[in-house]
Amino acid sequence: MSKYSIQEFINETKKTKEPKDSFDLETDRILDVQLAGNLWAKMGSMIAYIGDVKFEREGLMDHGADRMLKKAFTSEGSELMSATGKGQIYLSDQGKKITILDLQGEKITVNGNDLLAFQPSVNWDIHMMRKVAGMMSGGLFNIILEGQGKIAITTYYEPLTLLVEPGKPVMTDPSATVAWSGHLEPEFKTDMNYKTFLGRGSGESIQMKFEGEGFVIVQPCFEGTSNQ
């Protein structure tokens, strides 16, 4: 048989394993969800499914009046879709690498663009940022998740986790910042000078500053500059 035959292609690319859990990775860039109830996922992330599953766009009142007001008046919040039923769903986001995290009562804050899916048992809320800081960082919004259950986040290439220790603050570029310990409260640090306005600055004139104790997850690529 030719190594370029259709059958050979099917053999190399077909699904080869059964998921070990309700959230499992089919590949590093495809999330395999065994659905038996409901799930929240990023709008447009479904690439295929098997079974009896219904997808619906998130409604304004699906998560309560408080979050509805935050979304309506700040334009902050990733559009979500609900998946309901029983079957197998495959999710992906522009070919980004997927990481599954199993929350055991912890709290984590995730950049809204980097949240792929989460189980309904996880509590979540939209983090209100200072308006000026949000504008300067390119309109970033964050989602706080906590409780029990699995979440899936995405990164361009391999993520890097930096530990934040007392007296040793960590500074990151907002566009490269994916997630951080839920109890950390980042501040925006600006480094504006005449070189910045003359176009001779490094480009990193705005940073997020994390102080205290915890962790920060960054990706080796700026959000919006790669589809790898």
Task: Determine contact, residues 46/83, Cβ cutoff 8 Å.
Answer: yes
Interior/surface letters 9-28, b for 16+ CB within 10 angstroms, e for the rest: eeeeeeeeeeeeeebbbbee
What is the spatial distance between Cα 124 and Cα 134, in angstroms, rounded to a whole number? Answer: 20
Distance of CA 138 to the CA centre of its chain: 16
Say whether 166 sits in a helix, a strand or coil. Answer: coil
Give the 3-state secondary structure percentages of the chain, helix then strand then coil, rounded to 5. 15, 50, 35
Report the amino acid identity of residue 135. M
Task: Determine contact, residues 132/112, Cβ cutoff 8 Å.
Answer: no
Q: Which of 186, 174, 190 is nearest to 127 (CA)?
A: 186
What is the spatial distance between Cα 152 and Cα 134, in angstroms, rounded to a whole number? Answer: 24
Kindly give the confidence (pLDDT) of every residue in the chain, 228 residues in length, as a single tens digit, with 9 standing for 90 and above.
788 899 999 888 887 666 668 899 999 999 999 999 999 999 999 999 999 999 998 654 455 544 544 444 334 445 789 999 999 999 999 999 999 999 999 999 999 889 999 999 999 988 765 544 444 444 467 889 999 999 999 999 999 999 999 999 999 998 899 999 989 999 887 765 545 544 444 445 688 899 999 999 999 987 655 544
Q: Looking at residue 136, what DSSP letter applies?
A: H
Domains of the chain plus CATH, in order, are: 19-218 (3.60.160.10)
Strand ranges inside the chain, DSSP E: 23-27, 30-42, 46-57, 80-91, 97-111, 115-118, 122-127, 142-155, 160-164, 170-172, 177-181, 187-190, 206-210, 214-218
What is the spatial distance between Cα 217 and Cα 69, in angstroms, rounded to a whole number? Answer: 29
What is the spatial distance between Cα 107 and Cα 147, in angstroms, rounded to a whole number? Answer: 7
Interior/surface letters 191-213, b for 16+ CB within 10 angstroms, e for the rest: eeeeebeeeeeeeeebbbebbee
Report the amino acid identity of residue 104. Q
Q: Which two tokens stand for residue 18?
A: 């059964």
What is the spatial distance between Cα 35 and Cα 163, in angstroms, rounded to a whole number? Answer: 34
